[in-house]
């Protein structure tokens, strides 16, 4: 296959090695770029798009996130749309029929066989929700298997060590005959996250599908546009969803999904997490009160609001600390956070933590704080409740529906450092109530977010929507 690559930036450089692994099956003819200041890339000429006349090629490979703008430009130049492909479309014929199986469960006999299909497996909330879905189904006597295009080796080992099977199915988005035959062995499929829309639609033509939506508005519109480009308009027609049961982890993704697909019925399906709290006393009286925001330091998590609220509290709080747990990069937002926290001795940046390290961190935390402007169902809050910690969350999170002021935490206004500060000050002044509030938060976990509750809810969705028989 002779290809022209449109784009010479970081997007291409990040995928260059994968392209090289295709060997002689792919031959680069040239690059095209609108703004390149050099005339060669990796030994191939870089042309302007209008210089393509007379160049012999099979397709133009778009190597940028700006797929829509690139496609429009090329079509206006008279290039047929079927000769323009993005990176994911390009890989489909090279990935079909490639499977890697990682076995974790000796007994593969279950009352029904359920496939849980997700995006790249790493330590993010969406992936972990899928992992816990598999575990919950296995605990209820089903054979459940987790599958994805690819994944982090360390996480895959953790999953299989816990007795669950993982399959890497490189061509699942293409859903060729090989993938269809493999999926046919399952009774039903749970397709995780909105961006797996193409898989949900394709698989639903063969098997009943539960499509589980997690995205908030911060990512929904971006993902929709990206997947629309990938799937084409036909992938987003309501009639395609006749064999799909749509579920959402909270009202937030449900609301955004219905704004795009108003004719669909959407069921509530909050995730569940395994109980890792080993302590007999959920919360013990501590001399020091520790407020913690957990998650990668970024604009979506709004750690800047946390710092602004801290600066509004009374000075010289010797018995109070404020922690930020999560990786911090060298971008503009993180630089601002570093600058804001310089010289404030009771703010600690703990960086990224492993899952094992987080268990120790939670034992020290007094209150879990979520400052996000929007978050469908932040897993840090759910884990906090599991460990018996009171929660402070902004009103535009899925967690807010489970929090009662002064009972198990507080709900504060979005983007209000003043309101957040007042909630933290109340907890500092009423520290004797934190143990009871934490115990109440634990009850919320047990009722709504335990693995047992999740398994019951997921099974009910599968049965009520005729994905499996009773």
For residue 73, the domain's CATH number is: 3.40.50.720
Angle between helices 153-161 and 125-139 (to 10 degrees): 20
Q: Is residue 282 part of a domain?
A: no
Q: Is residue 461 part of a domain?
A: no
Q: Is residue 120 part of a domain?
A: yes
Cβ–Cβ < 8 Å for 194, 215: yes
| Token pair belonging to 357 | 């390290």
Give the per-residue pLDDT at 268.
Answer: 94
| Token pair belonging to 46 | 């870089």
Q: Is residue 11 part of a domain?
A: yes
Write the DSSP assignment of 84-118 as a string of letters. EEEHHHHHHHHHTT-EEEE---S----SSEEEEE-
Q: Is residue 154 part of a domain?
A: yes
- pLDDT classification of 124: cutoffs 50, 70, 90: confident
Pair 296, 259 in one domain: no
CATH number at residue 372: 3.40.50.2000
Give the per-residue pLDDT at 18.
Answer: 84
Pair 75, 36 in one domain: yes
Average pLDDT along the chain: 89
Predicted TM-score (pTM) of the model is 0.80
Look-up: residue for tokens 């209820």? Answer: 140
The mean per-residue pLDDT over the stretch 351-362 comes to 84
Give the per-residue pLDDT at 232.
Answer: 60
Cβ–Cβ < 8 Å for 91, 43: no
The mean per-residue pLDDT over the stretch 243-266 comes to 91
Pair 323, 441 in one domain: yes
Pair 88, 142 in one domain: no
Pair 104, 242 in one domain: yes
Percent over 70 (pLDDT), the chain: 93
Helix (H) or strand (E) holding 384: helix 379-386
Range of the domain at 31: 2-94
Which neighbouring-strand residues pair with 266?
246
Pair 300, 400 in one domain: yes
Q: Is residue 267 part of a domain?
A: yes
The mean per-residue pLDDT over the stretch 257-281 comes to 84
Pair 300, 407 in one domain: yes
Give the per-residue pLDDT at 173.
Answer: 81
Give the per-residue pLDDT at 358.
Answer: 86
Q: Is residue 427 part of a domain?
A: yes
What are the φ/ψ torsions at residue 192 (nearest 5 degrees)?
A: -95, 135
The mean per-residue pLDDT over the stretch 402-416 comes to 96
Give the per-residue pLDDT at 356.
Answer: 78
Pair 393, 255 in one domain: no
The mean per-residue pLDDT over the stretch 363-367 comes to 94
Total number of domains constituting the chain: 3
Pair 268, 297 in one domain: no
Pair 444, 326 in one domain: yes
What are the φ/ψ torsions at residue 129 (nearest 5 degrees)?
A: -60, -40
- pLDDT classification of 283: cutoffs 50, 70, 90: very low
Query: For the segment 197-209, what is each residue's pLDDT rounded down to a tens digit?
Result: 888 989 999 999 9
Least confident of 120-124, 226-230, 378-382, 384-388: 226-230
- pLDDT classification of 65: cutoffs 50, 70, 90: confident
Q: CB neighbours of 359 closer than 8 A, spacing ≥ 6?
A: 276
Q: Is residue 468 part of a domain?
A: no
Pair 56, 144 in one domain: no
Pair 128, 69 in one domain: no
| pLDDT for residue 218 is more than 70 | no
| pLDDT for residue 383 is more than 50 | yes
Report the relative pairing of strands 44-47 and 40-41 from DSSP bridges.
antiparallel
């Amino acid at each position: 296959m002779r290809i022209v690559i449109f784009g010479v930036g970081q997007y291409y450089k990040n995928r260059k090695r994968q392209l090289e692994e295709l060997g002689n099956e792919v031959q680069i003819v040239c690059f095209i770029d609108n703004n390149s200041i050099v005339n060669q890339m990796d030994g191939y000429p870089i042309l302007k798009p209008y210089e393509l006349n007379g160049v012999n090629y099979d397709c133009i490979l778009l190597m940028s996130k700006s797929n829509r703008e690139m496609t429009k430009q090329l079509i206006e130049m008279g290039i047929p749309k079927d000769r323009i492909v993005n990176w994911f479309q390009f890989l489909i014929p090279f990935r079909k029929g490639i499977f890697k199986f990682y076995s974790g469960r000796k007994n593969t006999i279950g009352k029904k066989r359920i496939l849980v299909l997700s995006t790249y497996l790493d330590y993010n909330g969406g992936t972990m929700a899928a992992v816990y879905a598999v575990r919950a189904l296995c605990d209820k006597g089903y054979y459940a298997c987790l599958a994805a295009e690819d994944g982090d080796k360390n996480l895959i080992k953790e999953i299989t060590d816990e007795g669950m099977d993982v399959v890497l199915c490189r061509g699942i988005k293409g859903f060729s005959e090989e993938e269809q035959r493999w999926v046919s062995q399952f009774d039903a499929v749970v397709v995780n996250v909105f961006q797996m829309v193409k898989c949900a639609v394709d698989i639903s033509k063969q098997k009943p599908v539960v499509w589980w939506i997690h995205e908030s508005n911060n990512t929904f519109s971006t993902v929709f546009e990206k997947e629309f480009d990938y799937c084409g308009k036909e992938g987003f027609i309501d009639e395609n969803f006749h064999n799909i049961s749509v579920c959402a982890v909270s009202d937030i993704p449900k609301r955004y999904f219905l704004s795009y697909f108003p004719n669909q019925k959407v069921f509530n399906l909050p995730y569940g997490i395994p109980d890792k709290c080993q302590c007999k006393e959920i919360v013990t009286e501590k001399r020091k009160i520790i407020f913690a925001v957990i998650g990668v330091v970024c604009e979506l998590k709004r750690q800047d609001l946390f710092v602004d609220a801290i600066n509004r509290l009374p000075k010289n709080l010797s018995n109070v600390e404020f922690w930020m747990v999560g990786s911090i990069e060298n971008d503009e937002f993180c630089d601002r956070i570093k600058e804001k926290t310089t010289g404030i001795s009771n703010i600690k940046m703990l960086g990224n933590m492993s899952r094992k390290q987080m268990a120790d961190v939670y034992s020290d935390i007094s209150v879990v704080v979520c400052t996000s402007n929007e978050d469908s169902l932040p897993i840090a809050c759910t884990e906090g409740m599991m460990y018996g910690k009171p929660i402070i969350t902004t009103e535009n999170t899925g967690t807010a529906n489970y929090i009662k002021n002064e009972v198990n935490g507080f709900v504060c206004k979005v983007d209000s450092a003043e309101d957040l500060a007042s909630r933290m000050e109340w907890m500092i002044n009423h520290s004797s109530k934190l143990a009871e509030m934490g115990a109440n938060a634990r009850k919320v976990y047990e009722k709504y977010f335990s693995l047992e509750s999740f398994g019951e809810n997921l099974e009910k969705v599968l049965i009520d929507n005729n994905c499996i028989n009773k």
